Amino acid sequence: MGDNQRELELFLTSVERQALRMAQIATGSTEEALDIVQDAMFGLVRKYADKPQEQWRPLFFRILQSRIRDWYRRNSVRSRWRVWFTGHGGSEEGRQEDPMAALPDTAGIDPADQVAGRASMAVLEEALRALPLRQQQTFLLRAWQGMSVAETAAAMKCSEGSIKTHYARAVKTLRKKLEGHWP
């Protein structure tokens, strides 16, 4: 069990940052993303730790996709109730941001390159957030995670044809939205 546990820890460490990035893009919130990723990791450990190691990646991303969809459903219900009770969608006026998070990271990077990189990433993230959830997650699994069509279909619990369609639509929309932002 010790070797399997160590291998599982290494696997979770290897997908942690990527999964967090995907969840952040999906939710727009680091705190929500951390909760979703942690829950997905616990789900993998609880139910699938005894499965062969080559099955962990698709299983983990299937769990992650499920948790992201659950978050969207809960958030949608909360928004409907908020609108119904208050007559408007809740604003973030009273929410305070962490002032440390706003400080720039000056770890030896040219400031002009750093600003350009942040601006480009912000444009990309905005375009990704604007995609329908299925297209967004398909694009992230295929392009960022490098998963095959079959792996992505297994993770998202849909057909390979659906994955191809969602991916093609996502790429087309992103190209149109990002036109002029990159050479």
For the stretch 73-95, pLDDT in tens is 887 655 554 444 444 444 444 44
User: Do 136 and 166 form a contact (C-beta atoms < 8 A)?
Assistant: no
Same domain, 25 and 72: yes
Q: Among the three residues 54, 88, 122, which one is the final residue of a domain in this structure?
A: 88
As to burial, measured by CB atoms within 10 angstroms (0-12 exposed, 13-18 middle, 19+ buried), residue 41 is: buried
Domain ranges, residue 161: 112-183
44-60 pLDDT, tens per residue?
999 999 999 999 998 99
26 within some domain: yes
Encoded tokens for 120: 């480009």
103 within some domain: no
93 within some domain: no
Same domain, 24 and 68: yes
Same domain, 125 and 83: no
Contacts of 177 (CB under 8 A, 6+ apart): 127, 130
Mean pLDDT estimate for the chain: 79
Q: Does residue 100 have a pLDDT over 80?
A: no
18 within some domain: yes
130 within some domain: yes
Q: Residue 44's closest CA among 10, 6, 76, 12?
A: 12
Same domain, 71 and 3: yes
Same domain, 59 and 137: no
Q: Does residue 117 have a pLDDT over 90?
A: no
Split into its structural domains, the chain has a count of 2
Q: Where do the H-state alpha helices sit in 87-159?
A: 111-130, 133-139, 149-156
Same domain, 1 and 84: yes
101 within some domain: no
